[in-house]
Chain A
């Protein structure tokens, strides 16, 4: 059976080759099948018996062809113009010719390597016959000379290319009453043709006879049901038998012989049903099930013997059914974009099928049924609806032919197809608000990776979810994704610190030094040493100006100050701060708290400053002496930066650092900056904590005073450019929080050096961030504390005050003083009876009011409403 297929006489050879399995040609083959119930064919029938259904002869045939046709299909993606729209195409078994049929076209083209060449026009004769208006065409897969067409007028025509005359028409069957949608040859029988029509009938023809040998009705099942139902009702006059039997037949959209079962064919109907028939039994179908919602336009048996049937319907779905089980079982369901007009399994690719649509969508798709959402390949050549698709060779998966309403015939190469899957983005990535990363990736890759690198027990490599895969299915590039959320550590963009910082920072209400200390502490506790250091330096700069900090500041800021920078020493000192702090605080409280409290104002440093001056004589007289020597030391520091290094404790004496005298306002200008007065007494103490490098002895306060004396030499202004640069640096690093916080805390000290617009930008950015983190309170505080008018007005923007007229109690719509409803002046002063044009105060209880002064005066004398309404007014 392994001959080279070439000649036209090959059909004979083939039949000889498989003759053992094929009934004798002379015997009335179809008659054997003929549906006489009492005469089912027996394997022992005379002549070469009809083969038992399994194993089907086709099986053998296809293998032969495999062996035969393994070699040479060459070609490229190409198309040719047809004269008219095509309705259907069919390929000759030699894979070298294709027939195109349409309402006004019926031609055979040969498929050359570079082009299509018209071989034969089968539309002959002067006047076009309706018989030639083809809805479908099929080329026999065993006989190269045999074709059949289905005409829109219901005629089924067979064509014999071997006829010598120009007119190749062979037989004409005019049995259908309406359009024949589909014709189908038996895969192994040369003379058996099946047709399915709009009139609801399927007919089986023996090409050696003049008419059909059997007729199958789509309504057969229903009919038999009715009969059964009617059994007990026979006598009832209300149910005449005839009416019920002649119900409207459902139109047949497709018929396909099974490849697996010799006698079986499937048919699909407009009502969504699929029927399975035994060709020997036209009275009733073997099986029927509803496959689709709406018409089932097409079906195709799987080319391998698996009993799989693919059906496509108007519901845009392609379903794959396993017909071998007792009940048809839906194996796969592919959802396409448009209604499915044709479906064809792709040769040699078990899970692939090609579809085209009958409207809207002109593309041809190849789907992997295991991946039902994305087409594996897509052919986009056609400009109008694709009407016919056919794989060029039953064992070659790469050539697809198609005909279209755009009057073109195409050969598509799978290689050239666009592959949406390949184009599709396989990953999703998103930076979350908290710096967490959501990352979705193709799981196949992920799984492979995780298998390679097991890290048991590591917190960083927790179990993660994998979809269970069907072990039976090879996992070949089919997609599923793993979605993980990662948290990143601070350097990686995690924003956990942001929330903590925002909530814990103190921006106002305390002296500058304390704010800086507090914020430094917060930062350090969150592990943000650089920020902590910055706060400390700010404190040093603005609360204890001197050379030491300036050296450090220059150093760290200039370098971009990542971490572990020179001020490390001050950290060490910080560690001992608590002890130190309490000590000094005690000291202070003993010594001079009394006078402090008397002098308390918003400036804590001022207090301490004064405190020192006042008490120097009595408490620490040495201060003054040191102060005298100040000039020289200052010079020394300036000249020799080495001396300024904090490692040398004798030079590092920042505590009790008093800023310039004129720096009276220390806390930022916030409305409540006076509220925390009570906290102030210990301020000087904690200031000392923060930066003290001095040993805890009596020289402590002594040294501190000496610094107070430097400050006039190096005003904080000296640093403001640096500080501004630093703020910009932080802002650029994405830490706008730091920029804004420092801006608020330092207030006027730096504000003038940064242009308004930048400040505004920082504020808006920070406020926006705070709101994203739902830190409404912090956000409001920042808005309130901001000095930029554009920002601070944000708090007033979304509050509306509705005013009612005090006479008629209706809403005041206009902006004037006169109510448009009662035409009286709404804002009359209850005391002087004039219109209040300025500040209007009114009682929320009775809504009477007037000029502020008048009302205040009035209330001194009486607590009743001046309007005389008798209300006991309350003004708060």
Chain B
């Protein structure tokens, strides 16, 4: 089911905390405790170091690629309380903006869907979430949600851009009225959903409660062919939940336990078509999960550690994949 096609020699001097592929799947950005962010060209199984970005003064926790329609832009956040936005200009990567509006480690960054423009959400250990909006000419406008999560925010993830009503109803030439939403997970064991009000302020829309320990990651599923909204969350408590909302108002969310792992679950990541969820846990194992026809989530494979050993675990009631 899964095999290693490439092992990237990152030459990072310390632990790697995040690895993100860009929009076209050709470049891989990594960040590490060694304070550096590196970008590799991984086309055709290669691994060419394109850039080694230095500028952070602490471990870099996360990186995020912006949509390529804005150019090659990468955001990184660090223990040094800073968020740095890097941009490639004429083949060289430079720091284009530095945001130091947080009082503690910034743990997560996420770019909004490109339809909204360039907006970056940053979640920090100071409990606040800040939103940086590019207003042109190198200027960034900052909005801050204070006390979004008590003790700290660990993850942010944007909802895909969905327009209320049909595109046809939009007056032509006018920007459609997107409802901007994102999810955040924090040390208060909560997942919160935030919505931008008409006056441009961000308001807590929902509080999703199910985890019994810090929420480590949230991932809003890409909306490919699905009218429903889906969010995956994972936590220190070892549990992974899939939250779905079927109703149009977006207010009723129901959790479904995907699995309870024995260790911390660090990451959840949706496949591009949102039908498979990759989960990585404290045992350094990646498992892939898919919803079966009867609505149960079944594990379709394990990616074992860095070496790709495979145990196609057959869970009860699991249907064979094709």
Residues of A within 8 A of B (CB): 316, 335, 337, 371, 373-374, 420, 424-443, 445-446, 449-450, 453, 455, 459-465, 479-493, 495, 528-530, 560, 562-563, 730-736, 739, 756-758, 760-762, 764-765, 769, 772-774, 788-791, 793
Nearest B residue to A794, CB-CB = B167
CB contacts under 8 Å to A, within B6-23, are 6-10, 12-21, 23
Nearest A residue to B79, CB-CB = A420
CB contacts under 8 Å to A, within B24-60, are 24-25, 28, 30-35, 42, 45, 57-59
Interchain CB contact (< 8 A) of B284 among A446, A485, A495, A760: A446
Cβ of A438 and Cβ of B19 under 8 Å apart?
yes
Interchain CB contact (< 8 A) of A374 among B25, B79, B266, B309: B79
Cβ of A445 and Cβ of B284 under 8 Å apart?
yes
Return A744 CB to nearest CB of chain B, in Å.
15
Residues in B with CB closer than 8 Å to A335 are: 35, 57
What 5 A-B pairs come out closest when comparing CB atoms? A433-B25, A731-B225, A734-B273, A734-B275, A790-B167
Cβ of B14 and Cβ of A371 under 8 Å apart?
yes
Query: Within 8 Å of chain A (Cβ to Cβ): is B300?
Result: yes
Cβ of A483 and Cβ of B15 under 8 Å apart?
no
Q: With A and B bound together, what is the CA distance between A484 and B271 in angstroms?
A: 17
Cβ of B286 and Cβ of A480 under 8 Å apart?
no
Return A627 CB to nearest CB of chain B, in Å.
41
Cβ of A425 and Cβ of B216 under 8 Å apart?
yes
Interchain CB contact (< 8 A) of A491 among B4, B172, B321: B321
Q: What are 18 contact pairs spanning A and B, CB under 8 A?
A: A425-B266, A428-B31, A434-B25, A438-B21, A439-B306, A440-B10, A441-B306, A445-B283, A461-B4, A462-B308, A464-B306, A482-B7, A491-B1, A493-B271, A732-B275, A734-B274, A764-B167, A790-B170
Residues in A with CB closer than 8 Å to B35 are: 335, 373
Nearest A residue to B47, CB-CB = A485
Return B175 CB to nearest CB of chain A, in Å.
12
Residues in B with CB closer than 8 Å to A373 are: 13-14, 32-35, 58-59
Cβ of A562 and Cβ of B322 under 8 Å apart?
yes
Interchain CB contact (< 8 A) of A439 among B10, B34, B280: B280
Cβ of A481 and Cβ of B267 under 8 Å apart?
no
Cβ of B272 and Cβ of A433 under 8 Å apart?
yes
Nearest B residue to A450, CB-CB = B307
Q: With A and B bound together, what is the CA distance between A480 and B32 in angstroms?
A: 9
Mask: chain B, 282-297; 1 = CB below 8 Å from A; 0 = not: 1110101010010000
Known A337-B57, A449-B304; contact A732-B15, beta-carbon cutoff 8 A: no
Main secondary structure of the interface of A (DSSP, over half): mixed
Residues in A with CB closer than 8 Å to B24 are: 433, 772-774
Cβ of A484 and Cβ of B1 under 8 Å apart?
no
Interchain CB contact (< 8 A) of B28 among A425, A438, A530, A760: A438
Residues in A with CB closer than 8 Å to B267 are: 425, 427-429
Cβ of A760 and Cβ of B1 under 8 Å apart?
no
Residues in B with CB closer than 8 Å to A757 are: 165-166
Return A297 CB to nearest CB of chain B, in Å.
18
Q: How many residues does chain B have at the interface if contact means C-beta atoms less than 8 Å apart?
A: 85
Residues in A with CB closer than 8 Å to B79 are: 337, 374, 420
Cβ of B57 and Cβ of A316 under 8 Å apart?
yes
Cβ of A429 and Cβ of B19 under 8 Å apart?
yes
Residues in A with CB closer than 8 Å to B30 are: 428, 440, 483
Q: With A and B bound together, what is the CA distance between A418 and B213 in angstroms?
A: 17
Query: Within 8 Å of chain A (Cβ to Cβ): is B250?
Result: no
Nearest A residue to B60, CB-CB = A373
Nearest B residue to A434, CB-CB = B25
Query: Within 8 Å of chain A (Cβ to Cβ): is B142?
Result: no
Cβ of B4 and Cβ of A449 under 8 Å apart?
no
Q: With A and B bound together, what is the CA distance between A757 and B308 in angstroms?
A: 42
Nearest B residue to A448, CB-CB = B305
Cβ of A788 and Cβ of B224 under 8 Å apart?
no
Nearest B residue to A729, CB-CB = B293
Query: Within 8 Å of chain A (Cβ to Cβ): is B226?
Result: yes
Cβ of A460 and Cβ of B274 under 8 Å apart?
no
Return A377 CB to nearest CB of chain B, in Å.
14
Nearest B residue to A426, CB-CB = B15
Return A186 CB to nearest CB of chain B, in Å.
38
- Looking at A373, A739, A773, the one whose CB has the most chain B CB atoms below 10 A away is A373
Q: With A and B bound together, what is the CA distance between A445 and B20 in angstroms?
A: 21
Cβ of A431 and Cβ of B271 under 8 Å apart?
yes
Cβ of B168 and Cβ of A489 under 8 Å apart?
no
Interchain CB contact (< 8 A) of B224 among A484, A487, A736: A736
Cβ of B12 and Cβ of A424 under 8 Å apart?
no
Cβ of B165 and Cβ of A430 under 8 Å apart?
no
Cβ of A484 and Cβ of B165 under 8 Å apart?
no
Residues in B with CB closer than 8 Å to A769 are: 224, 272-273
Q: With A and B bound together, what is the CA distance between A202 and B125 in angstroms?
A: 45
Query: Within 8 Å of chain A (Cβ to Cβ): is B270?
Result: yes
Cβ of A465 and Cβ of B286 under 8 Å apart?
no
Cβ of B1 and Cβ of A485 under 8 Å apart?
no
Return B305 CB to nearest CB of chain A, in Å.
4
Known A433-B21, A484-B4; contact A479-B33, beta-carbon cutoff 8 A: yes
Q: With A and B bound together, what is the CA distance between A463 and B7 in angstroms?
A: 8
Known A455-B309, A760-B166, A762-B225; contact A435-B8, beta-carbon cutoff 8 A: no
Residues in A with CB closer than 8 Å to B301 are: 488, 492
Return B213 CB to nearest CB of chain A, in Å.
13
Return B320 CB to nearest CB of chain A, in Å.
8
Cβ of B166 and Cβ of A790 under 8 Å apart?
yes
Q: With A and B bound together, what is the CA distance between A715 and B269 in angstroms?
A: 45
Known A490-B322, A739-B225; contact A374-B14, beta-carbon cutoff 8 A: yes
Q: With A and B bound together, what is the CA distance between A459 and B170 in angstroms?
A: 53
Interchain CB contact (< 8 A) of A529 among B6, B9, B322: B322
Cβ of A486 and Cβ of B284 under 8 Å apart?
no
Cβ of A431 and Cβ of B269 under 8 Å apart?
yes
Mask: chain B, 186-227; 1 = CB below 8 Å from A; 0 = not: 000000000000000000000000000000100000011111
Query: Within 8 Å of chain A (Cβ to Cβ): is B80?
Result: yes
Cβ of A484 and Cβ of B57 under 8 Å apart?
no
Residues in B with CB closer than 8 Å to A430 are: 18-21, 28, 269
Cβ of B3 and Cβ of A486 under 8 Å apart?
yes
Q: With A and B bound together, what is the CA distance between A730 and B167 in angstroms?
A: 23
Return B35 CB to nearest CB of chain A, in Å.
6
Residues in A with CB closer than 8 Å to B9 are: 465
Query: Within 8 Å of chain A (Cβ to Cβ): is B61?
Result: yes
Query: Within 8 Å of chain A (Cβ to Cβ): is B276?
Result: yes
Known A479-B33, A480-B12; contact A464-B4, beta-carbon cutoff 8 A: yes
Query: Within 8 Å of chain A (Cβ to Cβ): is B278?
Result: yes
